Amino acid sequence: MKRPIFTIRIVAFGLALACAAAPASAGKKPQQQVKPMAGPRATALRVTSLYITPSTEAQRVDRVQIGREMVVAEKSGAWMRVYANTDIEEQHSDKDEPMVGGNETTPPISGWIEAKGVVEETTPNGDQILMGAAANMETEASDPRGPANAAQSARLLYRRLMEMFPNSPLAPEAAWRAADIQWQIERADAATLPSAHEKSPEFRQQMDEDALHKVIKYYPKTKWAALAAFDLIDNKLCGDWQGSEQCPAKESEIYVKYADEYPDGPRTARALYEAVYRLAVLVDMYAADRDDRKSNDAHNQARTVAAQLKAHFPDSDYTYRAGALVYKLDEGVPVYGIDRD
């Protein structure tokens, strides 16, 4: 997905906004955001010009980007005066941000915008509108011909949904999607660095985990928590195995542990397959080192995990793929490295 790197930060208004996630549908309920005194929160579905007075002939102050945070101060016909977050980059994680804005927080810009294309927290079905707009932007981000900032816009719209409509049934999914987009952007960026080929994950560029951990915290034992936990595995993987058995051995354990914790998750079948693949690799690695005992042990473990995958996900492509790997092992066909025949 073509997604630029960007960051998120909640700006302070007259009384600054408190930064918190949407309430959980299951488990601990996060702290509710403090509404600004000026009026309802809002966000724009299009790039919107900000003027000094309610007229397109007036001096333009700035441009409000899609999904940026606004607070409506007053309305006048087809216009509204807002405090808008415009050209301020939002940090990719707010874990180090104060709960209310301090002296280092740049204040938003005040001005008039045309009301069309603006969703307020009082807009009927506003959560559904934001979800649809964000999903459209995310689709455009996957199109090479789409806008360069489509992923950024999608993430901001998802974030606005969970902040403006914290009780919406769509809030958990919006929280997950916003966190996942951030993660994938950072992951793609990290893959371009020389450190991406380091064997130890400690020496690689790490993706910020805060947003995903919040999804797990606020929506425990849900599909969204399972999806977030699967993303987090990326930070634990070796960049390049460099022929070391330690990497696939450790990684297979990580995937099996994930499957145990989320036995019915949307990524569990894939996790079990990833474990089978790494165990199959270990069979070949140990055999190349003439360690038949460890090779046989890895072979048996691969069979066991593949059987677990078949029992829980009999019709999954990952089950068939794991079965093909085990068949190769049973037939003595190498899975990894130079053909030993």
Tell me the per-residue pLDDT of 290-307, one tens digit each, with 9 for 90 and over: 999 999 999 999 999 999
Query: What's the rounded Cα separation, in Å, for the pair 171 and 176?
Result: 9
Q: What residues are paired with 48 via a beta bridge?
A: 64
pLDDT value at residue 38 = 61
Residue with the larger pLDDT of the pair 69 and 93 = 69
32-41, 98-107, 314-323: which range is least confident on average?
98-107
CB-facing half-sphere around the CA of 131: CA atoms within 13 A: 16
What's the pLDDT tens digit per position in 118-133?
Answer: 999 999 999 999 999 9
Entry pTM = 0.80
Query: What's the rounded Cα separation, in Å, for the pair 173 and 171?
Result: 6
Question: Tokens in use for 247?
Answer: 């990497």
- Given a cut of 90, whether residue 178 has pLDDT beyond it is yes
- Given a cut of 90, whether residue 2 has pLDDT beyond it is no
pLDDT value at residue 277 = 98
pLDDT band at 99; cut points 50, 70, 90: very low
Cβ-proximal residues to 338 (8 Å cutoff; 6+ apart), any chain? none
Phi first, then psi: what are they for 40, rounded to 5°? -70, 150
99: Cα separation from own chain's centroid: 22
Give me the amino acid identity at 227.
L
User: Of 163, 16, 177, 187, which is closest to residue 97 (Cα–Cα)?
Assistant: 16
pLDDT band at 261; cut points 50, 70, 90: very high
- Given a cut of 90, whether residue 21 has pLDDT beyond it is no
Where are the domains positioned within the chain? Answer: 195-331
Q: Rounded to whole angstroms, what are the CA distances from 269 to 8, 29, 219, 229, 258?
A: 33, 30, 21, 14, 11
Give the SS3 label for residue 116: coil
Average pLDDT on 20-32 reads: 42
Cα-Cα-Cα-Cα dihedral sign, residues 32, 38, 40, 43 = negative
pLDDT band at 86; cut points 50, 70, 90: low
Query: What's the rounded Cα separation, in Å, for the pair 317 and 325?
Result: 13
Can you spell out the DSSP letters for 13-60?
-SSPPPP--PPPSSSPPPPPPPPPSS--EEEESS-EEEESSSSTTSPE
pLDDT value at residue 263 = 96
pLDDT band at 252; cut points 50, 70, 90: very high
Average pLDDT on 17-30 reads: 40
Can you spell out the DSSP letters for 218-233?
HSTTSHHHHHHHHHHG
pLDDT value at residue 296 = 97
Q: Chain-wide mean pLDDT for the chain? A: 84
pLDDT value at residue 89 = 47
pLDDT value at residue 203 = 78
DSSP 76: E
Query: What's the rounded Cα separation, in Å, for the pair 265 and 335?
Result: 27
Fold of 195-331: 1.25.40
Q: Please give the helix or strand (H or E) that residue 62 lies within, else none.
A: strand 60-64
pLDDT value at residue 39 = 81
C-alpha dihedral over 42, 45, 51, 53, to 10 degrees? Answer: -60
171: Cα separation from own chain's centroid: 14
Average pLDDT on 237-242 reads: 90
Residue pointed to by tokens 């690695």:
285
